[in-house]
Chains A and B, each alone.
Chain A
Amino acid sequence: MLLEMKDICKDYPQGKEVVHVLKHVELAIEEGDYLAIMGPSGSGKTTLMNIIGCLDVPTSGSYTLNGEDISEAGENRLADIRNATLGFVFQSFNLLPKLTARDNVALPLLYAGVNKRERSRRAEEALKTVGLEDRIDFYPTQLSGGQQQRVAIARAMINRPKLLLADEPTGALDTASGEQVMDIFDELNAAGTTIVLITHEPAVGARAKRLRRILDGVLGSEEGGARV
C-alpha cells in the first residue's frame, strides 16, 4: 500500500462557525494506481489534494504515505517528503519566469542536494522524455501553455517520485494540448508511476484507471473508470 487515509477530517474556522471541508475520508492507493478524483468547485477536492501532497495536515484521522505516518512528521520532514516522494503538477504551471526550462526542471534537485552538473544532465533528460529537447534553454514566456505544462511535468518527475499529484492539469489548456498532457500521464503510469489526478472534467477523469467522486467533503465509493 503506497498511501492509506483513515477517517480524515479537515475543519476550517470561518468566523464563529466551523466549516467541515472533509468528512471522514477513507482512501487507499496501491503502487501503480491511476486515480481520478472528480468534483465540482467547493467540494473539498483541492483540500484533499493538499493533504495527500503533505502541504496541509488533517484536523483528525491518520495518513500513512510510503509506510510513514505523516501526522508525526515535522515541517522539515514534510518538505523532504514533498521533494523526494511526491511530484506536483498545477493548473497554472507555476514555472519561475526568470529561470529557463532547464533550471525550472532542475529546481527540486537543488533542494535534494544534487550537484550542478548532474542537475543539468538530468533536467535535459527529463525534458527529452516530455518531447521538449529543442526548448531546453527557453524561458517560460517563450513557450506555449502546453509546452509549459510539459516542463512542469518534467519538473514533477525529475526526482522519480512515488506519487504524481496533478491538480486540474488541463484546466488552462486547449483540447489538443490537454490531450498531449494526458497522453504523457498514460505513458508515465504505464512505466509504473502512481498518479492521483483531480479534475472537474468528466473527459479527463475518464482516462484514469479508477474514479472517485467527491461532493460536499464526502468522498464517494469507487466507480469503475472508463478503461477498467
Chain B
Amino acid sequence: MFENIALAFQGIWSHKLRSFLTMLGIIIGIASIITIVSTMKGTNEQIKENLIGAGTNAVKVQLYLEDWGYSWWYNGVPAGVAPITEETRQELLDIDNVEDVSLFCYRQYDSSVYYKNSSFNGYFYGVDGHYFDTCGYKLSYGRTFVPADYSGFRKVAILDTQACSALFAGMNPIGKTLEMQSEVFTVVGVVEKTRSTELEIETVSDYWTYADTSGGAVFIPLADWPLVYSFDEPQGVMLRAASTDAMTKIGQQAESLLTASQISRPDDTVSYKSEDLMEQAEQLQALSNSTNRQLLWIASISLLVGGIGVMNIMLVTVTERTREIGLKKAIGARKRRILWQFLTEAAALTSIGGLLGVIAGIAFSRVVSSVSGTPTAISIPASIVAVAFSMLIGILFGMIPAVKAAKLNPIEALRRE
C-alpha cells in the first residue's frame, strides 16, 4: 500500500505539467465550493450575530394586536391590559433558564427628542433598573440609573451611542438637557451595545431587518414614563436567556404567562407575543443558503468535469504503460494489485488537487471578503470533506482505467511497443 502511494506520487511528480493540468478541474471545483461554503457560513454567522447579538440572548415579549406589534401612537393604550407588577416579574424570573427580567415601555418615531436645534427620531424607552444588564448594554461614560432616579422621579436620560452622535455630534453630552414631549431631561450617561461586530447595513432590507437595534435609542427611568405619556401603560418584557438555544422556549413560556395574567378583554385580539429572533435568523439564513446552494450545484458540475478529465488522462497513462503492466503481471502481480496501483494514482492525483483547491478556495474567499465586504468564515470540516470527496472522485473516475489496466492480457501487453 505505502509502496503504491509512494510510486503514485513519484509518477505524478515526474509529469508535473500534465498532472497539474489534470488536477485543474478538481482544483477549480473544490476552490469554488470552499469559497461558497465560506461565504455561506460567514453570512449565517453575521445574520445570527446581528439579530441575536453576541452573548446577549435577550428575548423581547411585547403586546400584539392580532398579528402585528401593538402600535401605541395609532391605537392608544389598550383597554383591559393590566400593568405588570413586581409579583409577575418574579414569576417570569422563575421560568427555567431565565437569568434576568426587565420591564420597559417604548415609543418609536412619534417621540422627537431635541437638543437645541438638533433632533433625534428613533426609539424612546422607559426602562427599569434591570434593562441595561438584560439587553447587554454597557456604560460608555457617565452613569446608569440609580434607585434614587426611580424613587425621586428624577428627569434624567441615558443615550445610546447612535442617539448621542445624532444629537451631540462629538460634544460631551453629560449634564446637557434634552426636550422630550415638552419635558426637560438631563443626560447622565451614554451606553453602548456589547457586540463583537459592527452591524452591516447596506441595503434597505438590511435596514428594516436590523432597525430595531440600529436606529439609536434614548432611555428614561420607567417611573418617569407617566410624565411623558400615560399612567398604567402595560409594559413590554425583556428576558435574558442562559443560552441562545433556550430563547425560543423562554419566549413561548413568557408569552403564555403574560397573556394569561395581564389581559382581561372580551376579545382575544390583543395578546403578548415573543419576538422569536432565532426563528427570524433561521429564516434569513435559509434564504441566503438556498441561493448559495444553487451555486454549489454549479460548482459540483465543475468537479464532474474535473473527474472526467482525470479519467481521460488515466486511460492515456494505462495505454502508455501497457508494457509495464504486462511485465508486472508476468512476474506475478495479481489483477487486484494492478487495479490498486492505478486507483491509488488517480486518488493521489485528485487528493492533491482537492488540497490545492482548498488552499485556493480559502485564499479566494479572503479576497472576495476584502473586496466585497461580505464576511467569510473558513469551515474546517468542509475543507476536510472537500479533500475526502476529491479522493472519492479519483477512486470513482479512476475505476474504469484501473479495471482496463488490470484486465490487460500480459502476452499482448508485453508484445506492445
Contact = CB atoms under 8 A, between A and B. Distances in A.
Interface of A: 50, 53, 55-56, 75-76, 79-80, 82-84, 88, 90, 94, 96, 98, 107-108, 110-112, 116, 155, 159
A76 B333 CA distance: 9
5 contacts: A76-B335, A94-B327, A98-B14, A108-B332, A111-B332
Contact of A110 (B3, B323, B329): B3
Contact of B331 (A56, A76, A111, A116): A111
B330 A53 contact: yes
Contact of B332 (A56, A84, A98, A116): A84
Contacts of B324: 96
A82 B330 CA distance: 7
Interface in B369-414: 410-411, 414
Contact of B329 (A79, A96, A98, A155): A79
Instruction: Find the residue from B11, B326, B332 having the highest chain A CB count within 10 A.
Output: B332
A56 B333 contact: no
B317 interface: no
B337 interface: yes
B331 A55 contact: no
Contacts of B138: none
B334 A111 contact: yes
B10 interface: yes
Given A94-B327, A98-B10, A55 B332 contact: no
B335 A75 contact: yes
A199 to B, nearest CB: 18
B48 interface: no
Contacts of B195: none
Interface string B281-324: 00000000000000000000000000000000000000000011
A94 B325 CA distance: 11
A76 B3 CA distance: 21
Contacts of B326: 94
A53 B323 CA distance: 17
Interface of B: 3, 10-11, 14, 323-324, 326-335, 337, 410-411, 414
Instruction: Find the residue from A80, A111, A116 having the highest chain B CB count within 10 A.
Output: A111
Nearest to B323: A94
Given A76-B335, A111-B337, A96 B327 contact: yes
B251 to A, nearest CB: 66
Contacts of A96: 324, 327
Contacts of B411: 50, 55-56
A129 to B, nearest CB: 18
Given A50-B411, A55-B410, A82 B332 contact: yes
Contacts of A75: 334-335
A127 B10 CA distance: 24
A94 B332 contact: no
A226 to B, nearest CB: 30
A150 B409 CA distance: 26
Given A79-B329, A82-B330, A112-B332, 11 more contacts: A50-B411, A55-B330, A55-B411, A79-B334, A88-B330, A88-B331, A90-B414, A94-B323, A108-B331, A111-B333, A111-B334
Contacts of A84: 332
A104 B410 CA distance: 18
Contacts of B328: 107, 111
A31 B161 CA distance: 101
B377 to A, nearest CB: 44
Given A94-B323, A110-B3, A83 B410 contact: no
Instruction: Find the residue from B10, B326, B337, B411 having the highest chain A CB count within 10 A.
Output: B411
Contacts of A53: 330
Nearest to B334: A79
A50 B411 CA distance: 8
B317 to A, nearest CB: 13
Contacts of A116: 3
Please name the 7 residue pairs, one residue from A and one from B, whose CB atoms are nearest each other, closest first. A83-B332, A111-B332, A94-B327, A79-B334, A108-B331, A82-B332, A111-B333
Nearest to B326: A94
A75 B332 CA distance: 11
Contacts of A56: 411
A78 to B, nearest CB: 9
Contacts of B332: 79-80, 82-84, 108, 111-112, 159
Nearest to B330: A88
A159 B331 CA distance: 10
Nearest to B415: A46
Contacts of B330: 53, 55, 82, 88, 94
A76 B414 contact: no
B8 to A, nearest CB: 12
A56 B11 CA distance: 30
Contacts of B3: 110, 116
A196 to B, nearest CB: 15
B323 A76 contact: no
